[in-house]
Structure 1
Amino acid sequence: PSIVAGLFGLALFIAFMPDQSVRMGIMGAVALSLLMIPTVVRNSEEMLRLVPMDLREAAYALGVPKWLTIVKVVLRTAIAGLTTGITLAIARVIGETAPLLLTVGMVTSVNWDMFDGRMATLPTFINQQYRNGNANCMNETVTNPINQEVYACSISTNIDRAWAAAFTLIVIVMVLNIAARLVSHYFSPKLSR
């Protein structure tokens, strides 16, 4: 589960930090990379296994060294699948909230330094806006410029912001998935017998 990766990333850095309350962007990056590693490794293993043995044997028969066979034949054949797997792993972890809440924390401003302070991320922004609540209306009346009595209702747009951030996150994941499919389609080798 993603919460375990978040706890591991937090414990890994807290062990070396004198201040136990420190939160940094690099902690979140480590926690998310721990979630990505199994997906990328499994996909890479499968893509490299799908490369036909005939291609490798043909390269060996021509006297091509093993390292050059790997670089020029195996990787070129599997590059579309490898790129697709990495892109899908990124799309998977882009919406993870639990590791980021534990390791990065929440802040309303953008911090560009990964090694200093809390970071603003879309999943934590969604969580923060949702927790801030809906509308905040008062019972008193005020007069607007046209001299009409209206209720003073300062509508908080927190829920709308949360939905907008969720929509943005969905669009980013959708674009990454489409890009992965296009890479897979256009860069996959056309093997025929």
Structure 2
Amino acid sequence: MRSPETYFKIRKLKNSLFHLVVLISAICVMAPLFIVVAFLLQKGASGFNLDFFTNIPKPVGEIGGGMKHAIIGTMIMVSLASLIAIPIGLLGGIFLSEFGKGKIATLLRFATDLLTGVPSIVIGIFGYLLVVIPFKSFSALAGALSLSLIILPIVIRSTEEILKLIPNHYREAGLALGLPRWKMILFIIVKGHLSQLFTGIILAISRAAGETAPLLFTAFGSLYLSYNVKAPMASLPVQIYNYAISPYKDWQSQAWTGAFVLITLVLGLNLFARTVFGIKKLRRK
């Protein structure tokens, strides 16, 4: 029969092994991100300079040039897509979380799940048929509309799942104070958990910022800087794609730099959001 000390040692060993397995799993999850960033930094570091952010592409054979037009174009289209999709997505997620019973809620969940699984190239074709063909022109608006369809289901589902995790006594306390239900939802449930909701929004924006196929069918691309949302507009993913498949080494090098800039923008946006809301949490404490 084993002594209590032996049982204690065995339990301690099992606990240590479990911690080791969890640590190895965490490293395996983080490793691909660091490998991708390191690989992009290695390949694109040579073209990472001020000209890349301040110049537009130069003709073939001329050294230099940059992707200023594509960076600005991506920001414009992602911003427009966010303005379209985020308010609708938040309202849809709130509806499913707080009033999510009945045929309308079931249909909305089904449509959201279906839209999440639609390939981005199909969304691009939809934007092409809906906007480009009727207006007979590629445009940034068509690209923003397509990207909004990518952002929308992610925001809806993330908002619903986050709000479902909030304990019911928060809702009961607000209603007990005599608040109308809409005020309780807006000022207690939503406003009190903006940091969690913003995480889902950032995830949706990050997904949209890296999409190429929808923009090939809608915004198309351009080699010039343009702020006209009714005309073709450059974007980082499309510019990276065009440069990567080109036979010119200078353009291929800039494609690697553009890919590094794109992933840096996405990571920077996530870090900025977490830092801002982390500071707000500390101030509340």
TM-score (norm 1): 0.78
Q: Report if the CA contact (8 A) 2:124-2:213 is conserved.
A: yes
SS at match of 2:148: helix
SS at match of 2:239: helix
The alpha carbon displacement at 1:39 in A equals: 0.5
> How far, CA to CA, are the matches of 1:14 and 1:91 in structure 2?
25
> How far, CA to CA, are the matches of 1:107 and 1:62 in structure 2?
57
Q: Report if the CA contact (8 A) 2:139-2:218 is conserved.
A: yes
Alignment-mate amino acid for residue 257 of structure 2: A
Q: Against the structure 1 CA distance between its residues 14 and 121, is the aligned structure 2 distance closer, same or farther, given a 3 Å change threshold?
A: closer
Mapping of residues 84-123 of structure 1, within 5 Å: 84-115=199-230, 117-123=231-237
Instruction: Name whichever structure is richer in helix by fraction.
Output: 2
SS at match of 2:200: helix
Alignment-mate amino acid for residue 176 of structure 1: L
Question: Which residue is 2:163 aligned to?
Answer: 48
The alpha carbon displacement at 1:184 in A equals: 5.4
1:72 aligns with 2:187: yes
Question: Which residue is 1:12 aligned to?
Answer: 130
Q: Report if the CA contact (8 A) 2:128-2:142 is conserved.
A: yes
Mapping of residues 123-138 of structure 1, within 5 Å: 123-135=237-249
> How far, CA to CA, are the matches of 1:131 and 1:180 in structure 2?
34
Question: Which residue is 2:142 aligned to?
Answer: 27
Q: Against the structure 1 CA distance between its residues 60 and 186, is the aligned structure 2 distance closer, same or farther, given a 3 Å change threshold?
A: same
For structure 2, the residue ranges without an aligned partner over 5 or more in a row are 1-118
Q: Report if the CA contact (8 A) 2:132-2:138 is conserved.
A: no
The alpha carbon displacement at 1:134 in A equals: 2.6
Q: Against the structure 1 CA distance between its residues 179 and 173, is the aligned structure 2 distance closer, same or farther, given a 3 Å change threshold?
A: same
Aligned pair count?
A: 165
> How far, CA to CA, are the matches of 1:112 and 1:172 in structure 2?
20
Q: Report if the CA contact (8 A) 1:81-1:184 is conserved.
A: no
> How far, CA to CA, are the matches of 2:134 and 2:219 in structure 1?
16
Q: Report if the CA contact (8 A) 1:125-1:162 is conserved.
A: yes
The alpha carbon displacement at 1:130 in A equals: 1.8
The alpha carbon displacement at 1:188 in A equals: 6.0
Deviations 1:151-173 (A, max 9, x none): xxxxxx11111111111001001
TM-score (norm 2): 0.54
> How far, CA to CA, are the matches of 2:208 and 2:142 in structure 1?
14
The alpha carbon displacement at 1:15 in A equals: 5.1
> How far, CA to CA, are the matches of 1:182 and 1:72 in structure 2?
23
Deviations 1:108-163 (A, max 9, x none): 11110111x2101111111121232234xxxxxxxxxxxxxxxxxxxxx1111111
For structure 1, the residue ranges without an aligned partner over 5 or more in a row are 136-156
1:161 aligns with 2:254: yes
Question: Which residue is 1:176 aligned to?
Answer: 269
Q: Report if the CA contact (8 A) 1:25-1:118 is conserved.
A: yes
Alignment-mate amino acid for residue 133 of structure 1: P
Report sequence identity in percent.
38
Instruction: Name whichever structure is richer in strand by fraction.
Output: 1
